[in-house]
Amino acid sequence: MLLLPEPSALLTYSFFLLPPLIGAVFVWAIARTSGRSEALCAGAVLIAWMAFTGTLAAGGALDQWNPPRMFFVMGAVLIFLFWSARQPWTERLGSLPLQWLVGFQAFRVGVELLLHRAVQEGVANPTMTWTGTNFDILPGISALLLCPFAGRLDARTLQAWNLSMAAILVLTVATAMLATPSPFRQIGGAPANVWVACFPFVWLPSVLVTSAWLGHVVLFRRLRRDPEG
């Protein structure tokens, strides 16, 4: 286990509060589009997932990098996303207004500001912010700019935005993983990206990144189903 500087209270509490808040937005949206029973099920799964990953991280079980146990968490996230992309509830989430589906990605601005703070505090690898190789603030800013006009934009334009912003997220996650102290490390700099294996920062990949990807999945299904918007 690599020793890191003690993160500030602002950083710690922000990552403690933001993931359940974003998760609650999804549960609310599921309640609105699929009903109370589906929302209760989604809420229970969310709580169980956060409790599971949070407990593992708090106990140090994820801070093992040969093999990298955090990669198993990301594998579980990918399985969930592939499964959810074919579920009726994600199709129904697409019935929400386009402005909401696009504007949801604006939460990534707050995440990127926190990541920048983590780099400044010496907790996260320098690649994790916009001065490194992380450009994930662009989807957040562009979502804020586009959402008021989303209903009037051509579906192909929105889909191009959606796919390109999802690609930025994939690149961000890939570079973050390549900065971990695993046998696959390709990105240097200190510290290595071990902080995401600690509590509550484990909820960055397991909840916040998952939420951003799921938002792209929902919008993709909406635009493919209803090219007229």
Q: What tens digit of pLDDT does each residue of 49-92 get?
A: 999 999 999 999 999 999 999 999 999 999 999 999 999 999 99
CA-to-CA separations, 41 to 17, 45, 76, 123, 154, in angstroms, rounded? 21, 6, 18, 35, 35
pLDDT of 229 over the 70 cut:
no
The average pLDDT across 141-145 equals 97
Peptide bond between residue 191 and the one before it cis (omega within 30 degrees of 0): yes
pLDDT of 1 over the 60 cut:
no
Cβ–Cβ < 8 Å for 76, 202: no
pLDDT, residue 225, reads: 83
DSSP reduced 3-state for 183:
coil
The tens digit of pLDDT for each residue in 12-44 reads: 999 999 999 999 999 999 999 999 999 999 999
Residue type, position 194, single letter: V
**Longest C-alpha distance within the chain, in Å?**
53
The pTM for the full model equals 0.95
Cβ–Cβ < 8 Å for 121, 5: yes
The average pLDDT across 91-103 equals 96
Left, alpha or beta for 60 (phi > 0: left; psi -120 to 50: alpha)? left
The average pLDDT across 85-105 equals 96
* Gap between the Cα atoms of 47 and 106, Å rounded: 23
pLDDT of 156 over the 90 cut:
yes
Comparing CA positions, the residue from 30, 29, 80 lying closest to residue 53 is: 80
